[in-house]
Chains A and B, each alone.
Chain A
Amino acid sequence: MSEALLSVDDLRVGFDTEGGRVQAVDGVSFELAPGEVLAIVGESGSGKSVTAQTIIGLTRSANASIEGSVQLAGNELIGAGEAELRQVRGERIAMVFQDPMTSFNPVYRVGDQLIEAIQAHRPHVSRSDARERAVELLGSVGLPDPEQRVDRYPHELSGGMRQRAMIAMALTLEPEVLIADEPTTALDVTIQAQILELLRQLNRERGLATILITHDFGVVAEMADRVLVMHEGRIVERGDLDDVFYATKDPYTRKLLGAVVRLDQAPPLRPGKTEGPLLEVTDLVKHFSVKRGLLFDREVDRVRAVDGVSFSVERGETLGLVGESGSGKSTLSRAVLQLLKPTSGSVRFDGREIAGLSRRQMRPLRPDMQMVFQDPYASLNPRKRIGQIVGEPLRVQNRASGAELRRQVKELLERVGLSSEHYDRYPHEFSGGQRQRVGIARALALRPKLIVADEPVSALDVSIRTQILTLLSDLQEEFGLTYVFVAHDIGVVRHVSDRIAVMHDGKIVELGPADQVCEQPADAYTKTLLAAVPVPDPRESRARRADFKA
């Protein structure tokens, strides 16, 4: 290995909490050479972010104990004074964070935040010079119209532009090391591809040594020279990119790689569904009015969130609904369930027209259509016991009470892979995957015909994801469920769906059997979407990039 720029030796980070010491990082050692891209992969809680933040001292606090050594070109950073560390932060090691929306201060203009970074280290640089430099940097990361955008507030930029600006801010002082902590996780897949390309370019052109923290093996395969796999605070596997993928030594890594849902692998064949449609949607439109007026509002514009959509779902079938943020997929699923009142169009459920029914008219139909939500943390009431949460639909629909209710709920808990002993526990006592099981049990309680699952696995770790997808498909078989599976990740959608509908700008641009949509896409947008999905396979990924260049 060439001369190390950054070397981390036996790093240990522990936090004292009410529940005792949590050893977040437990003896991590690695080196980073100039110009290298090192990926640190792991699931949530593996210690990868804590490791990265500890390098520049961001985890220092009264309840943290930090041991070991972090050396930047021979200078020890652990134990260095705050003033010394401040010289390193931004100047020599810069960081890019996951969510560019929350990582910028919302009340300052983007340019001012770049200027602040410059002036923090170069107090003698005038504001106008710093502003000029900010414009230049914003331009260099591919932000269109940097002269204009420099004076915009973060919320006035799109997600992709914000992340470009965040990267520009990291580059202001030409650091030697860039730490990118899940830099594309909050972005749409087509935007992710652009940001990854930008990072690759910076690495190539500026020789910027990069630590890339991610949970996504697709991103790793596209970006990394070397890979560390972390699990419970330790490094369980390390090596060159191809070794980690093709000569995996550690069983945990193997399990993780095996759990990755791959877009380019056809899922097992599913029997055809021929019992006739459960749900028929025709010309469904949902517009939101933008209203203005001096004293009384009148409509001045409308957002066409769903703009004339038609599809049907057969009984026992899974229809995948794919689209990026803003495509209208969530609005569509809510309009179908009459949680939002459609502007026009028809929704026939089980042979009955339900578009435009009042809340009261919908009430008897509600048990037949249930929803599973994205965020298993936010969608369970933290002050209610698991038993109450799962039993609530049964209670409000007067299906069961007392001992019978308890029995049914326990049965449901066991059916979704939890235990009946969980009845009296609270949501915070469970992991993300377990909580999503609770959400599924709640949706199942009334024995619905249709379940609309809105991004049911996107908040979960890879290894948990597969378990939940398997559970959903087992339940489908057992209860003859019909699914509308809404997600942004076309790989996951392909894995579970019979047919896929691709949404873009409020319209379905392509609808067909899952394999056909993924392998022979007809629509230009579908092609872009598919091409942007990173493949968790370094050889394939290199081939694709070579193709792209040719």
Chain B
Amino acid sequence: MGRFVVRRLVGMVLVLFAISVIVFLIFNVIPSSDPAQQMAGKEATPTLIASINEEWGFDDPLPQQYLTMMGKILSGDVISYEGRENVDERIVDGIPATFSLCIGAAVIWMFFGILFGYLSAVRAGGLLDRTLTIVAVAGISIPVFWLAAIFLNYLTYQLELFPSGGYVGLTEDPMQWASHLILPWVTLAIVYVGLYSRVLRSNMLDAMGEDYVRTARAKGLSERQVMTRHVLRNSLVPIITLFGLDFGALLGGAILVEAVFSLDGIGLYTYESLINFDLPPVMAVVLFGAFFVVLFNALVDIAYAYLDPRVKLGASAQ
């Protein structure tokens, strides 16, 4: 375990380093991304641009610029080009909204994903299975922005059941918090419900043919015990993997959903920064998101070893 953690930490640093270098380089080769030009505005004089370049260090060699920026990001001093605000503070401010959105959606999609997948598998070929299959495929295929638009149009503007967007802190007013988040939760969860129920269904159908399921029946277990203790239990392992990866990726900001519902989270901030070609916040949110992806990858591996005792953490043989 200790060995596993050490290796993963080293791996995490390497991955974050590689990602930051790539993002940095991409921004420096994109045409029209000259930050000094951007800051100087449309009526920029060469002297103004030169002085901005001087002040912000845009004339320094690239490695130097990279190191300066990384140092500032890590120490919390980095300032965005657009708006000149502290990037790290903006990210921290966005965490409650993004995490509320992701955790709530994850609870919904895991619950319904597993429920639908289980019912589909147990009633494979039947009417319920077919209905759930249609629901799942629809969920996977419907674009988030379209679904969000439909929800907003009917449920918010016409029926006025939900507020039209924005975020209210959980500690300020829990009821308002929930009512602001219900539509984003459902919108975000629907794709995953479809995906997870399909994956679970096929895993369970595979597991039903396993010898140990026959053994469980031969022992005299009831059909429900066979299904939950043996078929479902063993089929959940790949679901946990999927969940770890998806959830980790979302914590870095659910860009589309946050943008559509104007949830003031990290995703919305990312979206705005990308539109403005604003390198410092983009670097910071990418690293922030990558951190969670790598972290959850490691957590998935640990969970795997608990769920499947045959898996040994960090074992290698040649």
Using CB atoms and an 8 Å cutoff, list the residues of chain A in contact with chain B. Answer: 53, 56, 58, 62, 82, 86-91, 94-95, 97, 99, 102-107, 116-117, 120-121, 153, 155, 166, 169, 288-295, 297
Q: A105-B230, A291-B316, A297-B316 are in contact. Are A97 and B214 (CB under 8 A)?
A: yes
Interchain CA distance A74-B212 in the complex, whole Å: 30
Q: Are B6 and A120 closer than 8 Å at their CB atoms?
A: no
Instruction: Judge if B130 is at the interface, Cβ distance under 8 Å.
Output: no
How many A-B pairs have beta carbons closer than 8 Å: the answer is 93
Q: Which B-chain residue is minimally distant from A152 (CB atoms)?
A: B309
Interchain CA distance A121-B2 in the complex, whole Å: 43
Residues of B near A106 (CB, < 8 A) are 212, 234, 308-310
Q: Are A86 and B222 closer than 8 Å at their CB atoms?
A: yes
Residues of A near B234 (CB, < 8 A) are 105-107
Interchain CA distance A107-B309 in the complex, whole Å: 6
Q: Which B-chain residue is minimally distant from A57 (CB atoms)?
A: B217
Interchain CA distance A434-B189 in the complex, whole Å: 52
Interchain CA distance A166-B219 in the complex, whole Å: 11
Q: Are B211 and A116 closer than 8 Å at their CB atoms?
A: no
Q: Which A-chain residue is minimally distant from B218 (CB atoms)?
A: A95
Measured CB to CB, the closest approach of chain A to B306, in angstroms, equals 10
* A–B pairs, 27, beta carbons within 8 Å: A53-B214, A58-B214, A58-B218, A87-B220, A89-B219, A97-B211, A102-B210, A102-B211, A104-B215, A105-B215, A105-B216, A105-B230, A106-B308, A106-B309, A107-B234, A107-B309, A116-B221, A120-B220, A120-B225, A121-B220, A169-B215, A288-B317, A291-B316, A291-B317, A293-B3, A294-B2, A295-B10
Interchain CA distance A181-B316 in the complex, whole Å: 36
Interchain CA distance A95-B218 in the complex, whole Å: 6
Q: Are A58 and B217 closer than 8 Å at their CB atoms?
A: yes
Residues of A near B318 (CB, < 8 A) are 288-289, 291
Instruction: Judge if B223 is at the interface, Cβ distance under 8 Å.
Output: yes
With A99-B211, A104-B212, A295-B10 given, can you name 11 additional A-B contacts, CB distance below 8 Å? Answer: A62-B125, A89-B217, A89-B219, A97-B214, A97-B215, A106-B309, A107-B309, A116-B221, A117-B220, A121-B220, A294-B7
Interchain CA distance A86-B233 in the complex, whole Å: 21
Q: Are A155 and B317 closer than 8 Å at their CB atoms?
A: no
Instruction: Judge if B229 is at the interface, Cβ distance under 8 Å.
Output: yes
Q: Which B-chain residue is minimally distant from A91 (CB atoms)?
A: B220
Classify chain B: how many residues form its interface, as a range: 20 to 34
Residues of B near A82 (CB, < 8 A) are 223
Q: Are A107 and B233 closer than 8 Å at their CB atoms?
A: yes
Measured CB to CB, the closest approach of chain B to A355, in angstroms, equals 19
Q: Are A103 and B220 closer than 8 Å at their CB atoms?
A: no
Per-residue 0/1 for B2-21: is the Cβ within 8 Å of any A Cβ (1 yes, 0 no)? 11001100100000000000
Q: Are B308 and A103 closer than 8 Å at their CB atoms?
A: no
Q: A89-B220, A117-B220, A292-B3 are in contact. Are A155 and B215 (CB under 8 A)?
A: no
Instruction: Judge if B307 is at the interface, Cβ distance under 8 Å.
Output: yes
Interchain CA distance A56-B215 in the complex, whole Å: 12
Measured CB to CB, the closest approach of chain A to B281, in angstroms, equals 34
Interchain CA distance A153-B311 in the complex, whole Å: 12
Q: Are B221 and A103 closer than 8 Å at their CB atoms?
A: no
Interchain CA distance A23-B160 in the complex, whole Å: 64
Q: Are B219 and A169 closer than 8 Å at their CB atoms?
A: yes
Per-residue 0/1 for B210-246: is the Cβ within 8 Å of any A Cβ (1 yes, 0 no)? 1110111111111101000110011001000000000
Interchain CA distance A102-B216 in the complex, whole Å: 12
Residues of B near A297 (CB, < 8 A) are 316
Top 10 A-B pairs, shortest CB-CB distance = A90-B220, A89-B220, A102-B211, A105-B212, A117-B219, A95-B218, A90-B219, A153-B309, A103-B211, A103-B215
